Amino acid sequence: MKKLFSAVFVFFTLGAFSQELFVFTEPASNMPAKSFGFRNMNAFMFEKDDKLNYHNMPEIMWGINKKWMVHAQGFISNRQEGGFEAEGGSLYAKYRFFSEDAIKNHFRMAVYGRYSLNRADIHQQELETMGHNTGYEAGLIATQLLHKVAISSSLSYERALDNNPGYKFPTTESNSAMNYTLSVGKLMLPKVYTNFKQTNVNLMLELLGQRLNENGKSYLDLAPSIQFIINSQARVDIGYRQQLYSTMKRTAPNGFILKFEYTFFNVFK
Amino acid sequence: MKLFILIASVVLLSNTAAKSQITRAELTATGLTCSMCSKATYKQLTSIPEVKEVVPDLNTTAFMIYFKEGSAINVSELKKKVEDAGFSVGELVVVFNFNNQQAVNNSSFKKNNITYTFMDTKPGVLSGEVKVKILDKGFVVDKEYKKLAKLTKQYPSYATVSNNSYHIKTL
């Protein structure tokens, strides 16, 4: 099964890119047990009428043990009339249920779930519980690391609910969707390690897709990114998301992502 | 005179006990390449109270671990910390300071309430610093464990996995 998975991945990603701390998706691996992480994601998305949608999503992360990790995230954006406003938040948990390690190589599988609240208006057919819709998402992730290259794929079910208190989910629209992702990453620098202080550079390429269950409308995005890991502890990610095609209404699919992350090791005893 | 012999033997015994400790270990972690992963593993290992110093080799994902003098490390603690970081132990070699230790396959000795049983080892007498490899499940790569598991007829105790009993091979 594992070999089949790898073969399928390699087939789809011939000559492609990265390591597995992906910018637009989560790998099946967890953060170290008893560590604490802080992440701040900034999305600058272009709306059709030249308006810039800015989303700020601060996030805290906790590695409970080697199998479980949880995130809590807030959603702030400038989309509403009143300007910069807190719109909601979410809780995320990931459980790594399979792990096979070899020298510079691993295969992992995990399941995850997210529950989000959002009080912004519902303005597109695309479902996105990260920053747009109240709802939940449950999925499966498989990640293979092969020396300097990592390949990861996920499949999830996403269900949107009413954005209370002000906005009911329209009964005419599909309130559920399947999401699928394929991510590849490669460690580009350093070629040879000398110490923890060397900045690591990863290149990544991700495919992000969604299909609405009730009307079959779909989209597919391509998202390249570059990642810098500083002092083996801090992360700076710069990514760009570009729609390849879409048959559904999306307000602002294209734009830049700027993400900062810092891990505090062994915070919890 | 008797008292002198008693004191002398107590001193001698405690000396032997101190000498027979594990002084350092070489651990190779598997399942990682990036320096952030190595750092997570390094941080976990340095959080063990018995550990004095950890020297990482990021290219081979190996860690040279030095223990505090007089400390009694249980190698299961090293395994737990590597797994907490999200990875596995691929190889663990520990350095024992032996004092005329008979090494015969299937024979055991006890140090700090932990039993070590010789396995796949050339018979002989061990003295001074000797590198031994831990062969139990979780301390070798899966492939090697599967090979070793076939030897349980020869080494019946190998089938039992315990946190205070290990199988060792001299290198």
Residue with tokens 């020297």: B55
Which residues of B sit within 8 Å Cβ distance of A?
Answer: 28, 30-36, 38-40, 42-44, 47, 56, 58-59, 61, 83-88, 90, 141-143
Is the ipTM higher than 0.90? The answer is: no
Chain B's closest residue to A230, CA to CA, is B36
The dihedral region occupied by B74, where left means phi > 0, alpha psi between -120 and 50, and beta the remainder, is: beta
Chain B's closest residue to A187, CA to CA, is B34
- Is there a contact between A232 and B39 if contact means CB atoms under 8 Å apart? yes
Q: Among B30, B47, B143, whose Cβ lies nearest the Cβ of A266?
A: B47
The candidate with the shortest Cα–Cα distance to B133, out of B151, B142, B122, B121, is B121
Could you tell me if A30 and A69 are in contact, meaning their C-beta atoms sit under 8 angstroms apart?
Answer: yes
- Under 8 Å CB pairs connecting chains A and B tally to 99
Amino acid at A191: K
- Is there a contact between B43 and A266 if contact means CB atoms under 8 Å apart? yes
Residue A22 distance to chain B (closest CA, Å): 13
Q: What residues of A are in contact with residue B92 (Cβ under 8 Å)?
A: none
Which ranges constitute the DSSP H helices of chain A? 2-12
The dihedral region occupied by B52, where left means phi > 0, alpha psi between -120 and 50, and beta the remainder, is: alpha
Q: What percent of chain B has pLDDT over 90?
A: 44
- What tokens does B38 get? 């190595």
pLDDT at B72: 87
DSSP A251-263: S--EEEEEEEEEE
- Angle (nearest 5°) at CA B39 between B143 and A140: 60
- Is there a contact between A33 and B86 if contact means CB atoms under 8 Å apart? yes
Residue-level pLDDT, tens digit, chain B, 171 residues: 555 554 444 444 444 444 457 889 999 999 888 888 899 999 999 999 999 999 999 888 899 999 988 888 999 999 999 999 989 999 999 998 888 888 889 889 888 889 999 998 888 888 889 999 999 999 999 889 999 999 888 888 898 888 899 999 998
Residue-level pLDDT, tens digit, chain A, 269 residues: 455 445 444 434 433 333 678 999 999 988 888 889 999 999 999 987 778 899 999 999 999 988 999 999 999 998 877 788 899 999 999 999 999 888 888 999 999 999 999 999 999 999 999 999 999 999 999 999 888 899 999 999 999 999 999 999 999 999 999 999 999 999 898 888 888 888 999 999 999 999 999 999 999 999 999 999 998 889 999 999 999 999 999 999 999 999 999 999 888 77
Q: What residues of A are in contact with residue B83 (Cβ under 8 Å)?
A: 66
- Is there a contact between A266 and B28 if contact means CB atoms under 8 Å apart? no
- Is there a contact between B31 and A105 if contact means CB atoms under 8 Å apart? yes
